[in-house]
Chains A and B, each alone.
Chain A
């Protein structure tokens, strides 16, 4: 990644460019450093509502004109609200890059948030929350996040029924003014483009966009709460989620954590897939993953199974992590590392993935990290390192969430909604 250009322009825009001259497209990503963690507590869901309405009209274009302008250059554009960022992604043919940036600048800088569009967005947000009740995995994610990450980092982007009712057009405008500016913007670009062209275009369209002083670079506090919570719901399967404290992306042990996830569920030969699914036939879905906001990290495992098999599934899940420190082999570790390393060349063949990786580097480390460094750190992980990691981050204080017809360890009928029990 030696040819990456990374700098902050006088206007306050931090950007990085990875020129890939052989590619046929340019991918770029604009991360605004403000997501649902920045929502006022009584207006949860606000950042998501800004994302839903910001392109519904500008001072010079209607929402439809803006969408038509994007389509006229064939742009593949999207957006998403996260915990700490609101991200706008776009892929275009190189000749349309400047126009695509101009259109982004138009809606990010000059939104009018039309009243009728805000009313519809509020109604649809309410419907989204209802629809979430029809999404068993989505509910598990929400409840697990709340308990494992706490009141701020565990927020759900959609907010809550009672809080989106407090959101008005004026609160959307006020929040946008505070969180949408050059000082809170990170732009990354990859593909068939020269760095000098990127800086020229960014200066041309974003110069003078709000506050230029850098802000939003600090993380939020994680608040992990051990314990077991069951959410009663009529479902065919029981959803099980287990979390325990881990490390953040910038921590020296992060490559070890990546390897642990790879060993557990990096491929179909991973321990969870092998032991829970293939040997015992307990589940179709089983997985391990981590959540890593800035400055914090949590490890998770999840599975869904028929209610009568949830206790056995839970026991096998927990047992497999504990067994890791006893019988992990060099060969198994090497397999997990190879899976991660090979993805740099397979997934890395797509320009969008390269752009996204660069954006993550800037977000977490404040600078591009050479791929060679990442590879070397991962390759250096040993079995001994994994054992040390498992010792240093014990799992005796687990956070466990179940959603479905019966709580764990219950032979009888299901408990009341949100019945709480200790683990």
Chain B
């Protein structure tokens, strides 16, 4: 991905206050995406404040020294921005995707909202919204099952807290506790500002300096504890659901690991659209859904093999998953299987290159995990290096034909 003049499309610079700025030029588009990525998420929540990162993300829309809460969303909507925010275990992101001509207004608004006053008068009302979000998640089987899996696989580790937190931690949470967390974690050195679109990097850099240069420097600390994945079994019986979610979790590589593309190919071969699970589990009627997923964090990862099935088919489903796990650990995948996955990846990279918002999120990943933007050519080269041997070697070092950690959520207490 280089420009017609052969120059790199990327500009990366650190402002004096520690904020990293990343810009990608995309000459063929009409829009531009911009956003902050803050290196703080649910895993940084103190245990007694589980959910504070996510609740804080909501509060960031509630007011600044310049704007009351309604003015923030009005100003986003005045330029027709496609905007939102989200919180993961590792990161909190605020972004807007606008017409190119509105970029300055978008940067000014994002920079303003990141300097929130966390208005005390909005705190209780917004807490009610988050409690509703928690209630909504309890009606969603997949959400309940995934939270339970995280809680058990990362037991007693911050990665085990649910992103939304608990009623028990949200209810007593005070605005002062949130303020202390905010001032510490939202130091510019713990954030990056990313812009992708049809822009001139020099003028964008000027705008970012203008609006973000005065953000107060600070020390976010770095207290993330490494996690390990235990073996074991955990079940959660919830009578009101009809289906059962069964999942096996195994230790895997972190997002920094050079084998990430190999793991991605392996999970696609096991549990993607045209995968072994699709043909040998779903198309045998054993489960409505079956898949494989790699959850990668900055310092660890897990591979999850999961499915949604009828409660009386749990044994058959698990047996089929174990059979596929044994097979991929003992026999190399065919060269054709590996090639098919790589071909799909090529198309998805071409599609990603069309939309500034897709590029924005990828740049945030690249900067966090690699410390620099990666070209499509570089990423394709990593995809090309995936072979049946690299997949086989991965499973020799991190096997999934072992006991693993089994979680089961649904109306049946299974395994008994």
Interface on A for B, CB 8 Å cutoff? 22-25, 64, 67-68, 70-76, 91-93, 117, 119-120, 123-124, 127-128, 130-131, 133-136, 234-237, 266-270, 273-274, 277-285, 304-306, 334-336, 338-343, 345-352
Say which residue of B81, B141, B347, B353 sits within 8 Å of A91 (CB atoms).
Answer: B347
> Given known contacts A71-B274, A284-B130, A340-B80, what 19 new A-B pairs fall within 8 Å (CB)?
A24-B350, A24-B354, A25-B351, A72-B343, A74-B347, A76-B344, A91-B351, A117-B283, A120-B283, A127-B288, A127-B309, A134-B141, A305-B132, A335-B77, A345-B31, A346-B97, A346-B98, A349-B355, A351-B354
Say which residue of A67, A136, A237, A347 sits within 8 Å of B274 (CB atoms).
Answer: A67
- Asked whether A284 and B136 contact (CB < 8 A) given A68-B340, A134-B242, the answer is yes
The reply to whether B74 and A269 contact each other, CB–CB distance below 8 Å, is yes
Task: Say yes or no for B295: interface residue by CB 8 A criterion.
Answer: no
B121-129, B150-158, B205-213 - interface stretch: B121-129
The reply to whether A68 and B274 contact each other, CB–CB distance below 8 Å, is yes
Interface size class of B (residues with CB under 8 A): 35 or more
- Asked whether A345 and B99 contact (CB < 8 A) given A22-B28, A130-B242, A131-B308, the answer is yes
Say which residue of B98, B310, B341 sits within 8 Å of A130 (CB atoms).
Answer: B310
Task: Say yes or no for B323: interface residue by CB 8 A criterion.
Answer: no
Give bound CA distance, A273 to B129, whole Å: 11
Q: How far is the CB of A252 from chain B (nearest CB, A)?
A: 24
The reply to whether A268 and B73 contact each other, CB–CB distance below 8 Å, is yes
Give bound CA distance, A341 to B79, whole Å: 10
A340, closest chain B residue (CB) = B80
Say which residue of A22, A267, A304, A305 sits within 8 Å of B73 (CB atoms).
Answer: A267
Task: Say yes or no for B92: interface residue by CB 8 A criterion.
Answer: no
The reply to whether A268 and B274 contact each other, CB–CB distance below 8 Å, is no
Q: How far is the CB of B22 from chain A (nearest CB, A)?
A: 19
Q: How far is the CB of B125 from chain A (nearest CB, A)?
A: 4
Interface on B for A, CB 8 Å cutoff? 28-31, 61, 69-70, 73-74, 76-83, 97-99, 102, 124-130, 132-133, 135-136, 138-141, 240-243, 273-274, 279, 282-285, 288, 308-310, 336, 339-341, 343-348, 350-351, 353-357
A residues in contact with B79, CB < 8 Å: 338, 342
- Asked whether A268 and B98 contact (CB < 8 A) given A74-B344, A237-B139, the answer is no
The reply to whether B125 and A278 contact each other, CB–CB distance below 8 Å, is yes
What are 13 sample pairs from A and B whose C-beta atoms fall under 8 A apart? A23-B28, A74-B347, A133-B242, A267-B76, A268-B83, A269-B74, A277-B129, A278-B70, A341-B80, A342-B99, A346-B99, A349-B31, A350-B355
The reply to whether B310 and A127 contact each other, CB–CB distance below 8 Å, is yes
Say which residue of B82, B133, B138, B351 sits within 8 Å of A76 (CB atoms).
Answer: B351
Give bound CA distance, A274 to B133, whole Å: 16
The reply to whether A74 and B77 contact each other, CB–CB distance below 8 Å, is no
The reply to whether B340 and A234 contact each other, CB–CB distance below 8 Å, is no
Give bound CA distance, A25 to B283, whole Å: 31
Q: How far is the CB of B351 from chain A (nearest CB, A)?
A: 6
A residues in contact with B350, CB < 8 Å: 24-25, 93
The reply to whether B340 and A25 contact each other, CB–CB distance below 8 Å, is no
The reply to whether A70 and B274 contact each other, CB–CB distance below 8 Å, is yes
Give bound CA distance, A274 to B273, whole Å: 40
Say which residue of B283, B284, B353, B357 sits within 8 Å of A24 (CB atoms).
Answer: B353
A residues in contact with B282, CB < 8 Å: 124
